[in-house]
């Protein structure tokens, strides 16, 4: 009886380990022709991730304009739009398809937008906000250098 329990335990641990590896660490990825990892997403998931990235870009443009006007209140408003609260709309099924390194970059980017908003409110120093934005954009550059997003159907051809 004890051998059966140990066998079941080992099989379950192996299954959990495999699922953890697939859904938390690696995600749904494949090598691509340009050397980056291709994230293999369904069209609606791909659209959601690309919309989030466009939101980042729009926020960067708005923040840059607000820095030029020395308007710290507007910097905070624009940064907060794409902070951690914005990531709540991402379904768990999509998060499971993303590799851990991509998730880390994404979560860190949202966190840095929140920090930029907080500092803009508290410090009211547009130059500091611009420095934070420059550092934050290193995440964008790193992500685009490492990943591309392909529709899952395209990669299966």
Q: What is the pLDDT confidence band of residue 145, given thresholds at 50, 70 and 90?
A: very high
Closest Cα partner for 78 from 123, 114, 130, 52? 114
What pLDDT digit, counting tens, does each position of 25-47 carry?
Answer: 557 899 999 999 999 999 999 99
Cut 0.85: pTM above it: no
Q: What is the pLDDT confidence band of residue 157, given thresholds at 50, 70 and 90?
A: very low
Is the distance from CB of 9 to CB of 118 less than 8 angstroms? no
Of residues 149 and 12, more confidently modeled: 149
Q: Is the confidence at residue 13, as pLDDT, over 90? A: no
| Domains of the chain from N-terminus onward | 28-155 (1.20.120)
pLDDT at 144: 97
Is the distance from CB of 126 to CB of 66 less than 8 angstroms? yes
Residue in the block written with tokens 């020395």: 70
Q: What are residue 31's phi and psi, to 5 degrees?
A: -65, 150
């Amino acid at each position: 009886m004890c051998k059966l329990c140990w066998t079941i335990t080992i099989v379950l641990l192996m299954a959990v380990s495999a699922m953890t590896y697939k859904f938390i660490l690696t995600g749904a990825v494949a090598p691509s022709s340009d050397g980056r990892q291709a994230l293999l997403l369904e069209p609606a998931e791909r659209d959601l991730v690309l919309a989030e990235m466009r939101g980042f870009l729009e926020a960067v443009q708005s923040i840059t304009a607000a820095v030029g006007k020395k308007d710290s209140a507007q910097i905070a408003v624009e940064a907060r739009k794409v902070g951690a609260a914005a990531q709540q709309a991402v379904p768990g099924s999509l998060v499971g398809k993303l590799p851990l390194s991509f998730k880390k970059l994404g979560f860190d980017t949202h966190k840095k937008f929140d920090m930029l908003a907080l500092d803009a409110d508290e410090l009211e120093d547009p130059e500091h906000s611009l420095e934070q934005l420059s550092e934050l954009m290193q995440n964008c550059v790193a992500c685009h250098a490492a990943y591309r997003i392909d529709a899952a159907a395209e990669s299966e051809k």
